[in-house]
Structure 1
């Protein structure tokens, strides 16, 4: 079974691309959603987070206090790196358990914004980078995330690995730039991955 990674910066449309693959019957591992789940359900990780950030890391109901954590790590690269270093190994373990559950499939997809930064790409067979120009990404994000300003979005983008580097390191690129049709690109890659698994 092939493990395919999908990555790209905020606003490029990773989730839309993943949904297209899902419609073709491909299991999708949403790293962001699973990370939130793992932080709520993995007692070992919960204790590590409390040790690092204090009991305020969780609410009285046992939910992750995302607002509290965001304030700590948002403008502090060292604290953000610390948070990622705690969370990513647990998410990696969760991913491999999930992969085992889909062993009957020709290939699965892991969607993650920080695929290279977290070194998760090392557990992946083929990488897809989704690309959209900066102006298109900002326009999409201002429409999607009403609470964010253009300055907020630019700050997030600046902290992420450049799109040029992601594309250079990827095996395949999907252009989601509002100029090229996306569905034919997805279908071509789907056929390609199926051909690799049938060799």
Structure 2
């Protein structure tokens, strides 16, 4: 399913770009990378699941739809909206680890202070070094950033639904312009 969704997203992006450039549709569209036959080895499935079937490389940026119609057109706005939602998923994927910090336990479970920054390093580099080196008693997301973490988590895992919604919006736009 993940491989099919990634191929669908790549196909929608390619069709939209070709139409925006005034070219004919391509002869072949991207196909999902799956093995033929009924039996699928476990290593192949774990490869697809761990790489997310290349979905992160297939996420389009908003823009080509504006060359097909005016910004006031509802179909163009829907494609742009779905592209922005996909960009939010990509941001959640890229920034998901930036919220964690190392901390020193003091008192109750989860209570404590962040590990002091390393002198000579920027705050972000110090935070990453503290996590990488395992300084402190554990790692956590600060309670002040919990809402941001929940939104990133939601965006990160919504990429599959958003890819299908983007493809449907592109198809509706292309059908209306045909």
TM over 0.5: no
> What's the TM-score, normalizing by structure 2?
0.31
Bigger Rg over Cα: 2
Structure with a larger share of its residues in strand: 1
